[in-house]
Amino acid sequence: MTTRLLLALSLMACRPQEVGQDAPVAAVAGEGKRLFHPAAPSSFVDLVESARHGVVAIRAQTPIKSGPAAMFPGAPESTADVGLGTGFLIEAGGVFVLTNDHITAAAQGTPLEIALTDGSTYPAQVIGRDLRLDLALLKVDAARLHALPMGDSDEIVVGEWVVVLGNAFGDEVSASAGILSATGRDAAGSLVPGKAMGFRTFLQTDARIHRGNSGGPMLDTAGQVIGVAVANGDRPSELSFAIPINRVKEIVTSLRDFGQVARGWLGVYVKPVSAELAASIGLTVTKGALVTGVQAGSPAARSSLRSGDVLLKWGDRAVDSRTLPYVVAQTPVGQPVTVTIWRNNAEQQLPVITEKMPE
């Protein structure tokens, strides 16, 4: 059999089905995860076409230096343009624009506008900012705008195809595709006090993300938003990251109603409970978050939590080392919570009062 024939047969065997056909599926193991996810389509044309109406360009009224225009080959870093980056329309009790905070901050107080794919433009007002997640929420007074559907970033798995859309200048929607390289779910413990959320907790992909599509949506093959693209540079060798959309869902109401986010803080260091540890302390199942340290002056220190405790529940919600940081962060500051722990071979309940996470 000739080399050419072998190559042709290989391509036929590997060719994915068209978008809209019944695509093959692959089983996904693991409790709490979806059993199937779609295979890669052979063309992303339909996917991009269905979502492009919700992708907007964010502009300043005066040219800004070091924006997306400066990323083109040969352009000096001081190149100025009104284009700041990308955003997309979301439904949050009304249609708003979500984007990166660093994009709106680059305007330096200059009034903003958004440009849609049909060429229309509208004034935009920043009504909420979260420096920690690098998110900004913009209000747009316009009728009949179509928001993009939000997916579930806790259900996606490594190896799934993703598409990142951008519209830095309002001229044309750009697209890049790749696979999901890491979910960041197992690194949730890096949600610690500080100005920025650790990139280990972000989605990671080999799809190209740069200043032009930063702030744009990352879509799964169903066309749902699973992340917000974040550019940390323009060199092709750098990793690409996106903020998981479930983290956005947790704070978007606060951004809309209060303009900022006040996260709860406990002040403990935790790690997963292994089967060996569970057996050694009398736990019949492997669950919970093992407390390995308590920060001085923290709410945990003011309660009776101590190293060696296993946190089983936060209120009525079961927690582990991955979910605990986010559950605590969503708790209203100053609200008393009854936590269930495992100590001395028995369950105990302790009162805890969260405080605002230090900046």
Q: Binning pLDDT at 50, 70 and 90, where does residue 6 land?
A: very low
Is 220 in the same domain as 323?
A: no
Q: Which of 211, 235, 261 is the endpoint of a domain?
A: 261
Q: Do the domain assignments include residue 2? A: no
Q: Which residue has the higher pLDDT, 65 or 36?
A: 65
Q: Binning pLDDT at 50, 70 and 90, where does residue 197 land?
A: low
**pLDDT value of position 356:** 85
Q: Do the domain assignments include residue 3? A: no
Annotated catalytic residues are 102, 134, 214
Q: Which residue has the higher pLDDT, 226 or 81?
A: 226
Q: Binning pLDDT at 50, 70 and 90, where does residue 195 land?
A: low
Is 300 in the same domain as 151?
A: no
Which of 4-8, 52-56, 203-207, 338-342 is the least confident region? 4-8
- The pLDDT of residue 72 is above 80: no
**pLDDT value of position 169:** 81
Concatenated DSSP letters of 193-257: SSSS--GGGSEEESS---TTTTTPEEE-TTS-EEEEEE-S-S-TTS-EEEEEHHHHHHHHHHHHH
Is 121 in the same domain as 243?
A: yes
Q: Binning pLDDT at 50, 70 and 90, where does residue 14 land?
A: very low
Is 276 in the same domain as 308?
A: yes
What is the rounded average pLDDT for all residues in the chain?
81
Q: Do the domain assignments include residue 5? A: no
The pTM assigned to this predicted structure is: 0.76
Q: Binning pLDDT at 50, 70 and 90, where does residue 186 land?
A: low
Q: How many domains does the chain have?
A: 2
Is 160 in the same domain as 114?
A: yes
Q: Do the domain assignments include residue 13? A: no
Q: Binning pLDDT at 50, 70 and 90, where does residue 110 land?
A: confident
Is 226 in the same domain as 278?
A: no
Best-predicted range by mean pLDDT among 18-22, 175-179, 184-188, 259-263? 175-179
Is 82 in the same domain as 181?
A: yes
Kindly report, residue by residue over 242-288, the tens digit of the pLDDT: 999 998 998 999 999 999 888 888 999 898 999 999 999 999 989 99
Q: Which of 231, 261, 291 is the endpoint of a domain?
A: 261
Range of the domain at 83: 23-261
Is 228 in the same domain as 274?
A: no
Is 188 in the same domain as 77?
A: yes
Handedness of CA 331, 334, 338, 339 (dihedral sign): positive
3-state secondary structure of 265: strand
- The pLDDT of residue 102 is above 80: yes
Is 271 in the same domain as 190?
A: no
Beta bridge partners of 348: 341
What share of the chain in percent tops pLDDT 90? 51
Closest by Cα among 26, 124, 134, 139 to 82: 124
3-state secondary structure of 103: helix
Q: Do the domain assignments include residue 16? A: no
**pLDDT value of position 12:** 35
